[in-house]
């Protein structure tokens, strides 16, 4: 699999939370190459099923979840042809100034988030950041034409093409969490050449950035025996301490904490060791803010794990990952799934390991 | 509808204390539904059965209103209180509240220092005076809840009252039940509880109903007052069809259905992007395996103050929109 | 007193194993069924004597607040993050124990002699502190602890006469009350005694247990905020020590079912058991997750007032503890489906 070109397509296809249709289409086609079935549910989750070979009915299943949505902008008001907007998901308004965008109106329109030239600004002004509600998009068209082409509630995405950096590093928008989608594709491709007893649901979840909403409903619908969420995590970068981050290009971050079933964490670590795959342990003392957080408490509870893909500059349009890390996550997932046998759930116990009647 | 609206807004019913307003609504909808029940949390659920294999549709308007709860009764008989739902401290001083047992209270403040005169007085410095002469003559106790007290005013086209959020939604639902003569759909009209404290009634009622489509009918803010927030919604320009609010992105298909219906019957409508706040639809959307959800909003000025203002035409047009939508097959 | 054993056990959210073991050993002969579910809740069933199919869930959470190791410095010092709600100001000059091996550690601070006046006034944020286990290098530290290890405070339990002191009364006090309730059974209905996990990080255990059990009614037992120290202003103490079990009417997470509040008040009044209403809007409990499960579960919280919760050492009154256990048992005996209109 050419991961870079897959990531280029995934990253450059728009898919703002709640409006993931285009990227969902792309992902569905990629997953369909390796899966037995692909479908979309009521909230826009794209669900691929790759059947296992296990004989027991109903067959056990594992859900992989990586979110398809990206943060974006939404038009709130149109004033003399200029577009006021707000965020869908969490934007740092400071990264928007002087940015090119695409406004998804009746047709796609190139737009600019304008900044007033420094010449006209008093020095004190330049020391201040500009809040979202003071920014606007200029599409360079006359006001009446804008009113026709753009409506309140239309969306806009930052325009960005993938940049190949030195070595294994690439940068673009929406690697959060399309990098995980690519890792799931790698996993499915790997599984095509392996034996696995369990059914595998690879789920591109919707609306993660606005409250883990697709994960809530897809996990409820699938009711899997196990789940692994894949999301990006903070890679070391200027301005962040080692305690807050994981290292770039040093392998998947296998998360540990209340959100994670410890036995799943341990099995992932064992799997990585057996593959001689580099990995890192990332502590998460509480809320992880990922799909794993929602999935774990679905229905009567689903043992859940979380794998982080190290990423720098999260929620900007220059999110940076190592292609190798993405590929490693895919391989780790596949090898983990291949280990799942009929007795796995029985070994997934807490101390004291008890169940029964007196 | 104005008489119905007046009756609804003047009835007591802060979150968790919806018994009286539920009683009033239950009487209003008598005979309009095939089934009526109250669930474990207190949601009032009325079902109108469809004739021929339409969708299971849930419409939700919340019965509860914001209010205050007594947290402490001091030695002299003054009551300290906290907010039930999103109460603005700005709106409290000098205001009146009424408890379930009819006790009236006025809101006073501790001494305001000179340097604090231009600041909002925090809730911790306010208290309720129920006219008691000492602790033993206080007719309410810790945990009792009061609603705000303000009469309904009919300004002609515009109406003012407390609790338009969301009694106006309740009025729209009731009128829709009256006007909807025939529908192919199995329609559940839910008068939900505890929306203001976390969409709790919508969570449990949606789980029980398992709708195939969910709509909330609630108020939204406007951007049409002096130096208001950036928002395209105005009073009197028609019901607002939600695209996004603070916690939900409406299902694009539901939004489209509402837009097309409004255009087909020729009523004005507006598209709504609300930056903060949300409605019952947020809870309905993630119920079970997920529900295509949206919201019909009644534009409302001064939301969460004792004087909320709506436009009567927006209200009647919202009823027309819902009735027209429910009369036809729904394809998302 | 089982409260001592429970209080001294290591049970930070996500790592409740030791507490679960103690509870299981205490009740295994008193229940008809038991299991540990996927997230770690200990779910027990004591079958009822009555005919009506009526399920009552009573919960208490096993987990306590604590810390987690996030990074090991080159010099062997350990960085940490809070698990659950911790006031940074309580961390200084405390002893802790870390991980499976309960490695002892201390949280030190710069000597007062070397601080300037400004530093004295500043709160030291948790992320500026470290745990010292006496290791002199990262390699040495890594032999004893690892990133992700849980950290608990080390506080011994003591009987002070009318009161007891110890750590984690939030909610080991509730666990101890629930053990007594289970032992005092059976009741006319099926009693699901559930010892939940991960309350302190978001009511997570209770949510899945309630979904699985589908109870008709739920009671949540807590060790709750008690802020009755002398104050200048006549404001709420939240609860007061020695004034009996605290009944919740409304908190940040739920509004109690009025009928269940009435049942508790009527029972207390009938038997002369003291009770108090907890200051509304303060805190949150597992009831927040339970009451919105599926189609909704009428719920109420009853708590043993406990001073200084979410710190390494708490204090509670023995009479409050006993009265909470008694009120709950008596209220359960008076509970029928009719109480909630079924």
pLDDT for the residue numbered A335:
98
pLDDT for the residue numbered A57:
81
Q: How far apart (Å, rounded) are the C-alpha atoms in residues A93 and A95?
A: 5
pLDDT surpassing 90 at residue C117: no
Q: Is residue C162 part of a domain?
A: no
Q: Tell me, what DSSP letter sits at residue A119?
A: G
Structure tokens at A155: 């969306």
Q: How far apart (Å, rounded) are the C-alpha atoms in residues B71 and B68?
A: 9
Residue at a domain's end among C153, C179, C198? C153
- Write the residue in B39, B71, B74 that is nearest to C295 by C-beta: B39
Please answer whether residues B232 and B77 qualify as being in contact, where contact means their C-beta atoms are separated by less than 8 angstroms: no
- Total domains, chain C: 2
CA distances from A124 to A115, A128, A129, C56 (A): 16, 7, 11, 64
Q: Could you tell me the CATH number of the domain that includes residue C117?
A: 2.40.30.40
Q: Is residue A42 part of a domain?
A: yes
Q: How far apart (Å, rounded) are the C-alpha atoms in residues B238 and A5?
A: 47
Between strands A46-50 and A61-67, the pairing is unpaired
Peptide bond into A58 cis (omega under 30): yes
Contact list, C277 vs chain B (CB under 8 Å): 141-143
Q: Is residue A134 part of a domain?
A: yes
Pair (A184, A285) in one structural domain: yes
Contact list, C298 vs chain B (CB under 8 Å): 40-41
Pair (C106, C251) in one structural domain: no
Q: Which of B161, C236, B291 is nearest to A217 (CA)?
A: B291
pLDDT surpassing 80 at residue B205: yes
Residue at a domain's end among A128, A158, A188? A158
pLDDT surpassing 80 at residue A357: no
pLDDT for the residue numbered A353:
84
- Write the residue in B247, B255, B289 that is nearest to A41 by C-beta: B289
Peptide bond into B286 cis (omega under 30): no
Pair (C70, C57) in one structural domain: no
Q: Is residue A355 part of a domain?
A: no
On average, the pLDDT of chain A sits at 95
Pair (A256, A134) in one structural domain: no
- Subunits next to B (3 or more Cβ pairs <8 Å) are A, C
The answer to whether the CB atoms of A42 and B292 lie below 8 A apart is: yes
The answer to whether the CB atoms of A352 and C20 lie below 8 A apart is: yes
Between strands B158-161 and B153-154, the pairing is antiparallel
Q: Which of residues 178-197 of B touch C (CB under 8 A)?
A: 194, 197
pLDDT surpassing 80 at residue A56: no
Please answer whether residues A331 and A278 qualify as being in contact, where contact means their C-beta atoms are separated by less than 8 angstroms: no
Q: Is residue A164 part of a domain?
A: no
Pair (A244, A333) in one structural domain: yes
Q: Which of residues 62-101 of C touch A (CB under 8 A)?
A: 67-71, 79, 81-84
Q: Tell me, what DSSP letter sits at residue A265?
A: H
Q: Is residue C287 part of a domain?
A: yes
pLDDT for the residue numbered B78:
97
Q: pLDDT, tens digit, for every residue of B149-196?
A: 999 999 999 999 999 999 999 999 999 999 999 999 999 999 999 999
Residue at a domain's end among C153, C185, C219? C153
The answer to whether the CB atoms of A19 and B285 lie below 8 A apart is: no
Contact list, B80 vs chain C (CB under 8 Å): 235-236
Q: How many beta carbons lie within 10 A of that of residue B177, not counting itself?
A: 21
pLDDT for the residue numbered A127:
87
Q: Is residue C42 part of a domain?
A: yes
What is the DSSP code string of C133-180?
A: -S-SSHHHHHTT--TT-EEEE----EE-SSEEEES-HHHHHHHHHHHH
Provide the shortest C-alpha distance from residue A279 to chain C (in Å): 13
Pair (C195, C230) in one structural domain: yes
Residue in B with minimal Cα distance to C299: B41
pLDDT bin (cut points 50, 70, 90) of residue C311 is very high
Q: Could you tell me the CATH number of the domain that includes residue A105?
A: 2.40.30.40
Mean pLDDT of A272-299: 97
pLDDT bin (cut points 50, 70, 90) of residue A285 is very high
Name which of C9, C11, C13, C14 to mutate to probe chain A: the one with the most chain A Cβ atoms within 10 A of its Cβ. C14
pLDDT surpassing 90 at residue C151: yes
Contact list, C291 vs chain B (CB under 8 Å): 41, 200
Burial (CB count within 10 angstroms: exposed 0-12, middle 13-18, buried 19+), residue A81: middle
The answer to whether the CB atoms of A285 and C79 lie below 8 A apart is: no
pLDDT surpassing 90 at residue B8: yes
Q: How far apart (Å, rounded) are the C-alpha atoms in residues B13 and A128?
A: 45
Residue % of chain B over a pLDDT of 70: 100
- Write the residue in A257, A287, A355 that is nearest to C148 by C-beta: A257
Q: Could you tell me the CATH number of the domain that includes residue C262?
A: 3.40.630.10
Contact list, C207 vs chain A (CB under 8 Å): 297
Residue in C with minimal Cα distance to B76: C234
Pair (A111, A191) in one structural domain: no
Pair (A140, A182) in one structural domain: no
Please answer whether residues C300 and C254 qualify as being in contact, where contact means their C-beta atoms are separated by less than 8 angstroms: no
pLDDT surpassing 80 at residue B327: yes
CA distances from C28 to A351, B179, C22, C25, C143 (A): 14, 61, 10, 6, 37
Provide the shortest C-alpha distance from residue C207 to chain A (in Å): 7
Name which of A20, A43, A63 to mutate to probe chain B: the one with the most chain B Cβ atoms within 10 A of its Cβ. A43
DSSP strand E in chain C: where? 33-36, 42-46, 55-61, 66-72, 78-83, 94-98, 103-107, 131-132, 150-153, 158-159, 163-166, 190-196, 217-226, 246-247, 276-277, 299-307, 314-317
Pair (C300, C193) in one structural domain: yes
CA distances from C247 to C52, C239, C261, C276 (A): 27, 10, 7, 6
Contact list, A268 vs chain C (CB under 8 Å): none
Catalytic (active-site) positions of A: 208
Provide the shortest C-alpha distance from residue A88 to chain B (in Å): 9
Report the complex ipTM.
Answer: 0.93
Q: Which of C333, C271, C334, C329 is nearest to C302 (CA)?
A: C329
Q: pLDDT, tens digit, for every residue of A88-134?
A: 998 899 999 999 999 999 999 999 998 888 888 888 888 889 999 88
Q: Is residue A22 part of a domain?
A: yes
- Write the residue in A133, A152, A221 that is nearest to B289 by C-beta: A221
Domain holding C300, by residue range, is: 2-64+167-340
- For residue C225, the SS3 value is strand
Q: How far apart (Å, rounded) are the C-alpha atoms in residues C75 and C213?
A: 50
Q: Is residue C160 part of a domain?
A: no
**Least confident range of A259-263, B232-236, C110-114, C210-214:** C110-114
Provide the shortest C-alpha distance from residue C296 to chain A (in Å): 14
Residue % of chain A over a pLDDT of 90: 88
Q: How far apart (Å, rounded) are the C-alpha atoms in residues A303 and A66?
A: 17
- For residue A137, the SS3 value is strand
Q: How far apart (Å, rounded) are the C-alpha atoms in residues A149 and A205?
A: 30
Residue in C with minimal Cα distance to A244: C70
Of chain C, the end-to-end C-alpha distance in Å amounts to 38
Q: How many beta carbons lie within 10 A of that of residue A300, not counting itself?
A: 18
Q: pLDDT, tens digit, for every residue of A238-268?
A: 999 999 999 999 999 999 999 999 999 999 9
The answer to whether the CB atoms of A18 and B272 lie below 8 A apart is: no
Pair (C214, C289) in one structural domain: yes
Contact list, A300 vs chain C (CB under 8 Å): 37-38, 208-209, 211-212
Pair (A45, A77) in one structural domain: no
The residue written with tokens 């990262």 in the block is: C138
**What are the structural domains of chain B?**
2-65+162-327 (3.40.630.10), 67-148 (2.40.30.40)
Q: Is the dihedral of CA A5, A279, A211, A32 positive or negative?
A: positive
Q: How far apart (Å, rounded) are the C-alpha atoms in residues A228 and A336?
A: 10
- Write the residue in A259, A350, A357 that is nearest to C36 by C-beta: A350
The answer to whether the CB atoms of B244 and A153 lie below 8 A apart is: yes
Pair (A299, A263) in one structural domain: yes
Structure tokens at A21: 């249709």
Residue at a domain's end among C153, C175, C195? C153
Host H or E run for residue B321: helix B312-327
Pair (A52, A190) in one structural domain: yes
The answer to whether the CB atoms of A296 and C39 lie below 8 A apart is: yes
Pair (C185, C309) in one structural domain: yes
Pair (C329, C240) in one structural domain: yes
Pair (A150, A195) in one structural domain: no
pLDDT surpassing 90 at residue A351: no
Pair (C84, C139) in one structural domain: yes
Q: Is residue C161 part of a domain?
A: no
Pair (A245, A335) in one structural domain: yes
Pair (A334, A303) in one structural domain: yes
Mean pLDDT of B234-258: 97
Q: Is residue A357 part of a domain?
A: no
Q: How far apart (Å, rounded) are the C-alpha atoms in residues A48 and A39?
A: 7
Q: How far apart (Å, rounded) are the C-alpha atoms in residues A350 and A45?
A: 32
Pair (A186, A51) in one structural domain: yes
pLDDT for the residue numbered A358:
67
Q: Classify C75 in phi/psi space as left (phi over 0), alpha (psi -120 to 50) or beta.
A: alpha
Q: Is residue C334 part of a domain?
A: yes
On average, the pLDDT of chain B sits at 97
Mean pLDDT of A323-339: 98
- Total domains, chain A: 2
Pair (C217, C198) in one structural domain: yes
Cα torsion for C152, C156, C161, C162, to the nearest 10°?
A: 0
The answer to whether the CB atoms of C255 and B16 lie below 8 A apart is: yes
C125 touches chain A (CB under 8 A): no
Contact list, B83 vs chain C (CB under 8 Å): 281
**Could you give the angle at the alpha carbon of A15 between the alpha carbons of A11 and A21, nearest 5°?**
125
Pair (C175, C70) in one structural domain: no
Q: pLDDT, tens digit, for every residue of B65-119?
A: 999 999 999 999 999 999 999 999 999 999 999 999 999 999 999 999 999 899 9
Residue % of chain A over a pLDDT of 70: 100
Residue in A with minimal Cα distance to C24: A352
Q: Could you tell me the CATH number of the domain that includes residue A213?
A: 3.40.630.10
Please answer whether residues B195 and B41 qualify as being in contact, where contact means their C-beta atoms are separated by less than 8 angstroms: no
Pair (C86, C215) in one structural domain: no
CA distances from A230 to A6, A183, A208, A308, A310 (A): 17, 8, 12, 6, 11
Residue % of chain C over a pLDDT of 90: 94
A–B CB contacts, 8 A cutoff, strictly below? 76
Provide the shortest C-alpha distance from residue A171 to chain B (in Å): 28
Domain holding A52, by residue range, is: 3-70+173-347
Q: pLDDT, tens digit, for every residue of C246-273?
A: 999 999 999 999 999 999 999 999 999 9
A278 touches chain B (CB under 8 A): no
Pair (C148, C90) in one structural domain: yes
Q: Is residue A230 part of a domain?
A: yes
């Amino acid at each position: 699999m050419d991961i870079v070109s897959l990531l280029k397509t995934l990253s450059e296809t728009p898919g703002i939370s709640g409006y993931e249709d285009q990227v969902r289409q792309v992902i569905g086609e990629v997953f369909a190459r390796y899966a037995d079935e692909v479908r979309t549910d009521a909230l826009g989750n794209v669900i691929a099923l790759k059947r296992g070979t296990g004989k027991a009915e109903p067959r056990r299943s594992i859900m992989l979840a990586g979110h398809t949505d990206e943060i974006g902008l939404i038009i709130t008001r149109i004033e003399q042809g200029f577009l006021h907007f707000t965020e869908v998901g969490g934007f740092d308004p400071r990264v928007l100034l002087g940015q090119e965008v695409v406004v998804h109106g009746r047709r796609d329109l190139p737009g600019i988030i304008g900044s007033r030239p420094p010449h006209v600004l008093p020095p004190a002004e330049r020391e201040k950041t500009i809040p979202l509600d003071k920014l606007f998009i200029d599409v360079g068209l006359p006001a009446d034409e804008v009113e026709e082409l753009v409506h309140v509630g239309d969306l806009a995405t930052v325009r960005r093409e993938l940049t190949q950096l030195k070595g294994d590093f690439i940068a673009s928008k929406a690697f959060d969490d399309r990098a995980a989608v690519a890792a799931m594709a790698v996993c499915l491709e790997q599984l095509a050449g392996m034996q696995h007893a369990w059914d595998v649901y690879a789920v591109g979840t919707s609306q993660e950035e606005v409250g883990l909403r697709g994960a809530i409903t897809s996990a409820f619908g699938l009711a899997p025996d196990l789940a692994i969420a894949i999301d990006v995590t903070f890679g070391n970068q200027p301005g962040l301490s080692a305690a807050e981050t994981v290292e770039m290009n040093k392998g998947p971050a296998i998360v540990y904490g209340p959100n994670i079933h410890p036995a799943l964490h341990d099995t992932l670590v064992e799997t990585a060791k057996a593959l001689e795959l580099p990995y890192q342990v990332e502590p998460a003392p509480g809320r992880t803010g990922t799909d794993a957080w929602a999935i774990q408490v679905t229905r009567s509870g689903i043992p859940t794990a979380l794998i982080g893909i190290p990423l720098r500059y999260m929620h900007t349009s220059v999110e940076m990952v190592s292609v190798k890390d993405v590929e490693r996550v895919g391989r780790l997932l596949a090898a983990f799934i291949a280990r799942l046998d009929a007795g796995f759930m029985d070994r997934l116990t807490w101390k004291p390991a008890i169940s029964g009647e007196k | 509808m104005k008489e119905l609206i007046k009756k609804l807004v003047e009835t007591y019913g802060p979150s968790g204390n919806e018994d009286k307003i539920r009683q009033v609504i239950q009487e209003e909808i008598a005979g309009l539904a095939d089934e009526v029940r109250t669930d474990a949390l207190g949601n009032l659920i009325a079902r109108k059965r469809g004739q021929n294999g339409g969708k299971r549709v849930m419409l939700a308007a919340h019965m509860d209103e914001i209010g205050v709860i007594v947290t402490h009764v001091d030695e002299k008989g003054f009551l300290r209180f906290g907010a039930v739902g999103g109460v603005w401290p700005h709106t409290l001083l000098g205001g009146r509240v009424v408890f379930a047992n009819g006790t009236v209270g006025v809101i006073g403040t501790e001494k305001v220092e000179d340097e604090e005169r231009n600041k909002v007085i925090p809730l911790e410095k306010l208290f309720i005076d129920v006219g008691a002469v000492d602790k033993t003559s206080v007719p309410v106790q810790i945990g009792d809840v009061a609603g705000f007290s303000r009469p309904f005013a009919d300004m002609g086209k515009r109406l003012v009252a407390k609790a338009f959020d969301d009694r106006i939604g309740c009025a729209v639902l009731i009128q829709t039940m009256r006007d909807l003569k025939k529908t192919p759909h199995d329609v559940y009209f839910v008068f939900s509880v505890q929306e203001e404290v976390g969409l709790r009634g919508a969570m449990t009622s949606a789980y029980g109903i398992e709708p195939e489509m969910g709509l909330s009918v609630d108020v939204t803010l406007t951007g049409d007052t002096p130096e208001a927030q950036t928002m395209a919604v105005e009073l009197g320009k028609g019901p607002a069809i939600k695209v996004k609010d603070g916690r939900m992105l409406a299902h694009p298909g539901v939004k489209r259905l509402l837009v097309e219906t409004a255009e087909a019957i020729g009523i004005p409508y507006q598209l709504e992007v609300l930056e903060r706040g949300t409605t019952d639809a947020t809870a309905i959307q993630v119920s079970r395996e997920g529900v295509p959800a949206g919201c019909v909003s009644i534009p409302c000025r001064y939301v969460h103050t004792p004087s909320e203002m709506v436009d009567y035409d927006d209200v009647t047009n919202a009823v027309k929109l819902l009735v027209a939508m429910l009369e036809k097959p729904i394809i998302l | 007193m089982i409260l001592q054993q429970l209080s001294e056990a290591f049970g930070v959210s996500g790592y409740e194993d030791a507490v679960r073991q103690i509870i299981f050993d205490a009740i295994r002969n008193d229940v008809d069924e038991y299991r540990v579910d996927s997230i770690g809740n200990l779910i027990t069933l004591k079958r009822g004597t009555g005919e009506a199919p009526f399920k009552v869930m009573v919960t208490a959470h096993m987990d306590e607040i604590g810390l987690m190791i996030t990074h090991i410095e080159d010099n062997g010092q350990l960085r940490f993050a809070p698990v659950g709600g911790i006031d940074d100001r309580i961390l200084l000059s405390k002893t802790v124990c870390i991980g499976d091996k309960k490695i002892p550690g201390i949280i030190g601070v710069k000597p007062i002699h070397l601080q300037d006046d400004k530093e004295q006034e500043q709160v030291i944020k948790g992320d500026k502190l470290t745990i010292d286990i006496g290791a002199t290098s990262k390699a040495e530290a890594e032999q004893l602890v690892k990133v992700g290890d849980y950290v608990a405070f080390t506080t011994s339990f003591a009987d002070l006469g009318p009161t007891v002191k110890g750590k984690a009364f939030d909610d080991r006090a509730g666990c101890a009350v629930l053990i007594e309730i289970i032992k005092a059974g059976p009741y006319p209905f099926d009693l699901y005694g559930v010892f939940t996990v991960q309350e302190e990080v978001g009511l997570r255990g209770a949510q899945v247990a309630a979904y699985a059990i589908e109870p008709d009614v739920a009671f949540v037992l807590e060790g709750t905020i008690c802020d009755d120290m002398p104050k200048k202003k006549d404001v709420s103490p939240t609860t007061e020590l020695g004034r009996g079990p605290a009944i919740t009417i409304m908190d940040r997470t739920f509004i109690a079912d009025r009928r269940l509040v009435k049942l508790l008040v009527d029972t207390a009044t009938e038997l002369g058991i003291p009770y108090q209403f907890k200051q509304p809007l303060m805190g949150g409990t597992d009831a927040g997750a339970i009451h919105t499960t599926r189609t909704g579960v009428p719920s109420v919280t009853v708590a043993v007032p406990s001073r200084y919760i979410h710190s390494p050492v708490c204090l509670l009154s023995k009479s409050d503890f006993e009265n909470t256990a008694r009120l709950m048992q008596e209220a359960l005996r008076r509970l029928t489906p009719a109480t909630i209109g079924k």
